[in-house]
Amino acid sequence: MPMLLDDQRNRQILDGFRAIGILLVILFHSLLISTKLVQKSGGTNNDFTGIDALIDAFPRALNIAWHAVGSEMIFLVSGFLLSYLLFREYYRKGGIDLYDFFVRRLSRIIPLYLIALMLYGLDMHYSLEDLALNLLFISKAFDMKTIIPVGWSLEVMMQVYVLLPFLVILVMHNRRPVLLMSVLMLLSLLPRWIALSLSQGEYLIPVYELIYQGGGSSRLQQDLYFLTIYRATPFLMGLLIAYLAVFRADWLCNFFSKPLLSSGLLVLGVILVALSSGVSIQDKDAWAYTSISQEFWLWFWTFHRFVFASGISLLMLAILHNTQGLARSIGGLFQWNLWGMFSHNIYSIYLFHFICLIPAALLVLVPQSLDRMEIFVSQPKELIRMIDHISVIEVLLIFFLTAFFSVKLAVWITRYVEKPSQEWIRRRFAQQQA
């Protein structure tokens, strides 16, 4: 029986969601490096003129860029894709080949991860304990150094991947699998609420203060962002959607076959995304800081990522299961060939886009004046003292150049490093298995 991802259109749509996720990650990091460069505007620690100007000028329509939800989209789609493959295997074969699953996951992750550890490790001091915990994908769990800038997310994904096939088996042996997954997904919010409730008001620290501090944050805020126990919700949401796509495919198709209902759910998805990522958390004068009670932030930070992932899930389901009306129009945007280039190389882009971020920023900022070019040539470390203002156009140029360099680098890495290493590992361990 044909399944959801047997259709090329549906695979292209998922490519679109993954590509937008990685582009949101790059945009957030472009903003982050821009605020870091101007946080000592005027040469003093208390002059935030450059950051204030950037925040005031940045379009409110792009508030999503400040929310760092690109990783949420990647977690959701990755959880869906892997769960879909596992459920499909269970449906067709009556079980899961755990050995094959782990060989495939490790062959996908380990080679490039080791290269990234080596490259990023050249520019930082770390202990053997740091290295060991990074290699085991548990450095954040022990509050140790993460050598790769995005290493925390690789640790989250690896920890989830270890548990995922066993969770699929548990679901398949449960009499009410949809209820079980729904309860697990809702329970995954409980640790966030408990941590925030017991934090003595740490959730009241506004995001703009963290921006002024150059991204510094409290231990609670770091844990909520970096630890798997607080980031499991999108994976569980992807698990539920994948089960429905494999075992309740007819019901999903019938449910979304009604154009009016499908369009309504699309609109609801957009509303949920806007509600969760449209708040101006970066602006100290935003209504959320001036007009709403402090209790709002407890619930906002508890449900923020859940609401965003729910909105993306509704958009994804409606577009995948309906080819008429509004769903068809929006689906066409997700089928651009450009998205495939980012999606098919997403792992390389994710790991190595930081390497492209610095040269992109230099290409945009250094040529602004002869003085900057002279300083860059003679004393490159002093260049930061001259960058007291970065415009929105410059941030977007940094973003576009980083995305361009990253995808070009990733295509090369995927072709000459990732795929050959994957094939070698899979052949090697398949022979051992035999």
Confidence of residue 11 (pLDDT cuts 50, 70, 90): very high
Can you give the pLDDT at residue 43? 46
Between 433 and 167, whose confidence is greater? 167
How far CA 238 is from CA of 32, 81, 107, 411, in Å, comes to 28, 8, 22, 27
Give the SS3 label for residue 148. coil
Confidence of residue 187 (pLDDT cuts 50, 70, 90): very high
Can you give the pLDDT at residue 176? 96
SS3 readout for 181-239:
HHHHHHHCCHHHHHHHHCCCCHHHCCHHHHHHCCCCCCHHHHHHHHCHHHHCHHHHHHH
Can you give the pLDDT at residue 434? 38
Q: Which of 183, 3, 185, 7 is nearest to 90 (CA)?
A: 3
Structure letter (DSSP) for residue 295: H
Identity of residue 107: S
Confidence of residue 84 (pLDDT cuts 50, 70, 90): very high
Confidence of residue 40 (pLDDT cuts 50, 70, 90): low
Confidence of residue 314 (pLDDT cuts 50, 70, 90): very high
Among 64-78, 118-132, 371-385, top mean pLDDT goes to 64-78
pLDDT of residue 433 exceeding 50, the answer is no
Please classify residue 52 by burial: count the beta carbons closer than 10 Å to its beta carbon, then call 0-12 exposed, 13-18 middle and 19+ buried: middle
Between 206 and 185, whose confidence is greater? 185
Q: What residues contact 200, with CB distance under 8 A and at least 6 apart?
A: none
Give the SS3 label for residue 405. helix
Question: What DSSP assignment string belongs to 29-49?
Answer: HHHHHHHHHHTTGGGSTT--H
Q: Which of 265, 248, 238 is nearest to 184 (CA)?
A: 238
Structure letter (DSSP) for residue 418: I
Give the model confidence (pLDDT) of 94-114 as tens digits.
999 999 999 999 999 999 999
Give the model confidence (pLDDT) of 29-38 as tens digits.
999 988 888 8
Can you give the pLDDT at residue 377? 45
- When pLDDT is averaged across residues 420-430 and rounded to a whole number, the result is 91
Give the containing element (helix H, strand E) for 95. none
Handedness of CA 195, 199, 203, 209 (dihedral sign): negative
Q: What residues contact 337, with CB distance under 8 A and at least 6 apart?
A: none
The whole-angstrom separation of Cα 226 and Cα 154 is: 10
Confidence of residue 194 (pLDDT cuts 50, 70, 90): very high
Residue 355 φ/ψ, nearest 5 degrees: -65, -30
Residue 46 φ/ψ, nearest 5 degrees: -105, 5
Give the model confidence (pLDDT) of 353-392 as tens digits.
999 998 898 888 877 654 555 454 445 555 555 667 889 9
- When pLDDT is averaged across residues 75-90 and rounded to a whole number, the result is 97
Identity of residue 104: R
Q: Which of 195, 194, 112 is nearest to 154 (CA)?
A: 112
Please classify residue 370 by burial: count the beta carbons closer than 10 Å to its beta carbon, then call 0-12 exposed, 13-18 middle and 19+ buried: exposed
- When pLDDT is averaged across residues 324-333 and rounded to a whole number, the result is 82
The mean predicted confidence, pLDDT, of the chain is: 89
The whole-angstrom separation of Cα 40 and Cα 384 is: 9
Domains of the chain, by residue range, sit at: 4-350
Structure letter (DSSP) for residue 426: H
